[in-house]
């Protein structure tokens, strides 16, 4: 069954956690003991059943009434499986939102119908476009507090469309909802008979995501070389990993980078046995017809369709730690299955995610800030531009001393 990964985003108190709780509750995706625990906690706090408690798991989140960490929830309907990333709305947790949305097929941006489009709504929409999330759904929440007024919905919709003209968004949809009462979340609402679109869950079930993945450029980063020790399989040599792009089939002519040696695919195997083809994001083992020197970090691709190979790249990075980024600072870069050392040779500008203003005088990046940098790596990377392939166009930077992940990045092009 197809899996849809989606991330929620929006301003503080726009109702993201309540919406997810309503989705889980109305689609009957929670257990009785979970519901009893939520009801018990709600009674202790002197309020009605608070479905937001299904996702706000940290004690600090419950005490402050805000989401801090990225909470992942899983549920399924007869049509599709879902992985939800409930991301924080507060600006000081921008890095958490970037983490949650980096693997999402769809982003849900919540807007409070009473407040309309606010700074944080624009910020989250921009981050979703920066991270190349293919689909965006704007949920205009708390429609019950504005009397289910169609004019309010249309006004916010028009304002958001005008803002979205500045961004790179392929698919944009709007749904008026009330997460608290369940209007247009799982079932169509009788209170908004003027709305002719689908409910949110129906849209999530039907949105087309199969063509979002790059099925043209064959990219198979080798994660592990399988060499069984037993005598019965002493000749076996398989290369395990996850298909990052393209379609692999037995008999295909391929080239291995960085060596440049060519071969053909003899077989493709999974836990369930041999398969006729592999496509993203399948994990599999590829066996080649020839014995080549292939190790972790190498990449299998087509001879006439190779990724960029280089040591100097330009990228957008989001800084994750309070220790500022240093120009000429040295870090470990992890890109697909490849690891190398990297140096930040230049910071071109720091981007204000609220105004989209570029500060070209900036000398460093600090926690939650985004900027454009040039990196030089000690060994060549095999990459594509992030806009073409999110899997081979993204990376993380790690502090060599603390081993902390200090940044996530998106490759723009060769420097």
Same-domain check for residues 313 and 295: no
Pair (198, 105) in one structural domain: yes
Q: Which of these three, 185, 212, 239, is where a domain ends?
A: 212
Q: What CATH number is given to the structural domain containing 177? A: 3.40.50.300
Q: Residue 344's domain spans which residues? A: 308-414
Are 138 and 117 a contacting pair, CB within 8 Å? no
Q: Which of 161, 194, 212 is the last residue of a domain?
A: 212
> What is the rounded (10 degree) CA torsion for 305, 311, 316, 318?
120
Q: Are residues 233 and 327 in the same domain?
A: no
More confident residue, 73 or 248: 248
pLDDT of residue 60: 44
- Residues 157 and 46 both lie in one domain: yes
Q: Are residues 147 and 104 in the same domain?
A: yes
- One domain for residues 107 and 237: no
CA distances from 19 to 58, 64, 148, 185, 207 (A): 18, 18, 17, 8, 19
- pTM for the model stands at 0.83
> Which of 7-16, 43-52, 244-253 has the highest mean predicted lDDT (pLDDT)?
244-253
pLDDT of residue 55 exceeding 90: no
In whole angstroms, what is the distance from residue 161 CA to residue 173 CA? 10
Interval 250-303: pLDDT, tens: 999 999 999 999 999 999 999 999 999 999 989 999 999 998 999 999 999 999
How much is the pLDDT for 70?
Answer: 61
Q: What element of type H or E holds 225?
A: strand 224-226
Q: Which of 259, 280, 301 is the last residue of a domain?
A: 301
Paired tokens of 88: 């924080």
- The predicted structure's pLDDT at residue 98: 81
320 in the same domain as 295 = no
Higher pLDDT, 75 or 34: 75
Domain count for the chain, please give it: 3
What is the pLDDT at residue 103? 85
Reported as a pLDDT band with limits 50, 70 and 90, residue 211 is confident
Using pLDDT thresholds of 50, 70 and 90, give the confidence band for residue 66: very low
Q: Mean pLDDT of all residues in the chain?
A: 87
Q: What percent of the chain has pLDDT over 70?
A: 88
pLDDT digits (tens, 9 = 90+) for 121-175: 888 888 888 889 999 999 999 999 999 999 999 999 999 999 888 888 888 999 9
Same domain, yes or no: 115 and 190: yes
Checking if the pLDDT of 232 tops 80, the result is no
Q: Give the confidence band of 75 by pLDDT, cuts at 50, 70, 90.
A: confident
Residues 191 and 71 in one domain: yes
Instruction: Give per-residue pLDDT as tens, 340-374.
Output: 999 999 999 999 877 778 999 888 999 888 999 99
In CATH, what number is assigned to the domain containing residue 340?
A: 2.40.30.10
Task: Name the more confident of 274 and 72.
Answer: 274
């Amino acid at each position: 069954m197809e899996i849809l990964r989606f991330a929620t985003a929006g301003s503080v108190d726009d109702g993201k956690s309540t919406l997810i709780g309503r989705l889980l509750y109305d689609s009957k995706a929670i257990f009785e003991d979970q519901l009893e625990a939520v009801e018990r906690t709600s009674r202790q706090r002197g309020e009605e059943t608070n479905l937001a408690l299904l996702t706000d798991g940290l004690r600090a989140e419950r005490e402050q009434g805000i989401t801090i960490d990225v909470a992942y929830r899983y549920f399924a309907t007869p049509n599709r499986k879902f992985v939800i990333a409930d991301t924080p709305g507060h600006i000081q947790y921008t890095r958490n939102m970037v983490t949650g949305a980096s693997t999402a097929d769809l982003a849900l941006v919540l807007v409070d119908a009473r407040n309309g489009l606010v700074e944080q709504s624009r910020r989250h929409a921009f981050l979703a476009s920066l991270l190349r999330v293919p689909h965006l759904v704007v949920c205009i929440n708390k429609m019950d507090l504005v009397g289910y007024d169609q004019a309010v919905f249309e006004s916010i919709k028009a304002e958001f469309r005008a803002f979205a003209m500045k961004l790179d968004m392929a698919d944009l949809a709007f749904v008026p909802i009330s997460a608290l009462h369940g209007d247009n979340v799982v079932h169509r609402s009788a209170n908004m008979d003027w709305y002719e679109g689908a409910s949110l869950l129906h849209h999530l079930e039907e949105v087309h995501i199969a063509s979002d993945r790059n099925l043209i450029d064959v990219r198979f980063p080798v994660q592990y070389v399988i060499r069984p020790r037993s005598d019965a399989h002493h000749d076996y040599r398989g290369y395990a990993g996850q298909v990052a792009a393209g379609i692999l089939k037995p008999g295909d002519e391929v080239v291995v980078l960085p060596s440049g040696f060519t071969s053909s695919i003899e077989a493709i195997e999974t836990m369930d046995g041999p398969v006729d083809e592999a496509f993203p994001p399948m994990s599999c083992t590829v066996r080649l017809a020839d014995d080549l020197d292939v190790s972790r970090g190498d990449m299998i691709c087509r001879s006439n369709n190779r990724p960029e190979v280089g040591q100097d790249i330009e990228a957008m990075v989001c800084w994750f730690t309070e220790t500022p980024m240093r120009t000429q600072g040295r870090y470990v870069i992890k890109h697909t299955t490849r690891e190398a050392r990297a140096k930040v040779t230049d910071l071109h500008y720091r981007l204000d995610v609220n105004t989209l203003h570029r500060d070209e005088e900036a000398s460093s990046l600090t926690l939650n800030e985004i900027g454009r940098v040039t990196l030089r790596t000690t060994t060549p990377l095999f990459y594509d531009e992030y806009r073409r392939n999110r899997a081979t166009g993204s990376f993380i930077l790690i502090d060599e001393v603390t081993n902390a992940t200090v940044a996530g990045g998106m490759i723009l092009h060769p420097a």
